[in-house]
Amino acid sequence: MTWWQSLLMLFGLLSALLLVGLPAGFAFLAINLVGALVYLGGEAGLMQVVRNSVASVTNFSLTPIPFFILMGEVLFHTGLAMKAIDSFDRAIHKVPGRLAVVAIVAGTVFSAISGSTIATTALLGGLLLPQMLKRGYHPRLAMGPIMAIGGVDMLVPPSALTVLLGSLAGISISGLLIAGIVPGFLMATMFLGYIVYSAWRNPALAPAFDHDAVHGWARWKPLLVNVTPLVMIFTLVIVAMTAGWATPTESAALGALATVIVCLAYRSLSWKAMGQALSGTAAIAGMILFIIIGATTFSQILSFSGATNGLVSLVKDAELAPWMILAGMIAILLFLGCFVDQVSMMLITLPFFMPMVQHFGWDPLWFGVLYLICMQLGLLTPPFGMLLFTMRSVAPKSIPTSEIFASIVPYVLMGLLMLVMVLWLPGLATWLPTLLLGK
């Protein structure tokens, strides 16, 4: 069997399983069993799959994932995250488009809580969208920010998916976590600037409501009390890594411990809440680790079948300009984002993309940030972006689907602008890791 026949068979079976709705982890497990029998030598191949599985999930670099997830779960189940959001809402009551601004901030908080951009969109859509529509917000200004925050949540640490990308792609995890900070905050700033400017220019898009406004110290006290500790936890995680005091795993553990201590100090941590946080962490982390098992073996099967080397050699022999190769890789990521989740995108593309990165000598941190932006943009791109269909499921039936598509267009354009900025100015991704880590 030639390499291209093997490639067609493996991806054909994988596509069929995903299209019938089989979860990604089970789909890759099924393909791996078939591949082990065909390419790794029957029973011996199956034993190799078992050894690969054990080795993949005992990788020390993956241990930050459950700690980052635990931080979000504890904040969610203790109610501290919602207190922070309410405090921010109260502090900015005079800002145009206030609830849309809160959606961006809340999305950044909930991204760590849910572990899934789709879950974040569904949660915020259920919580904030009815309030915005009730208060007269234009549907586009109400729905767009809730979906757009997907372009930021994976770039700003702590991010379990960034850790997963770094582990699967062989990129420095601490470097990748820090590399996303500048592009992430720049993108969030663009979103916030667009929202505030739109609401200021046309107040009818977001009518003001000051009946619940407070003034003086009562306005700022909740922000200081409820938000400052969360900022300090974020600072602790980043400083511990950049100063060399702790590894990414140890920094994540410090962040989780600090989160629990803060919740204890606020007397919001009960045995019930802690139990719910731990069970939620186990469920999400277990799902991610199960997918990692599939990814590791799938990459090895692709290599044994000759598909990886064959496809990489084909691209190299074509003697295309590096920028054309990179443009093609970005296009593939944006296309895949319309149909599959972020983890599946990593499993499908990284076995082929990372050899290209090494061949052309691209900075892996720079490429990693481009990859993260592409994954999120793919989920927002009409007509098949998964976040669009998630919003469709929570938005009122009276809002046409065309309105949902229109609401995300400005944010997609700003995301593409950020992608171009990082492409032409690699320093946006590499400057901070170089400054703090010397990478």
- pLDDT, one tens digit per residue, over 8-24 is 888 788 778 877 777 76
Confidence at 345, pLDDT banded by 50, 70, 90: confident
CA distance 144 to 374: 18
So what's the pLDDT on residue 142? 92
So what's the pLDDT on residue 151? 66
246-305 residue pLDDT tens:
888 888 889 889 989 999 998 888 999 899 889 888 877 777 777 677 766 777 777 777
Top mean-pLDDT range of 152-156, 239-243, 303-307, 420-424? 420-424
For the chain, give the mean pLDDT.
Answer: 82
Q: Residue 82: what residue type?
A: M
Cα 331 to its chain centre, rounded Å, is 18
- Asked whether 209 and 135 are in contact (CB, 8 A), the reply is yes
Cβ density class 131-170: b for 16+ within 10 Å, e for less: ebbeeebbbbbbbbbbbbbbbbbbbbbbbbbbbbbbbbbe
57-109 residue pLDDT tens:
676 667 777 887 788 788 878 888 778 777 877 777 778 888 888 888 877 76
Give me the residue spans of the domains in the chain.
3-437
CA distance 374 to 32: 27
SS3 353: helix
212 pLDDT higher than 70: no
53-70 residue pLDDT tens:
777 667 666 777 788 778
Q: Which residue has the higher pLDDT, 145 or 293?
A: 145
CA distance 391 to 125: 7
Instruction: Tally Cβ neighbours within 10 Å of residue 302.
Output: 23
365 pLDDT higher than 90: yes
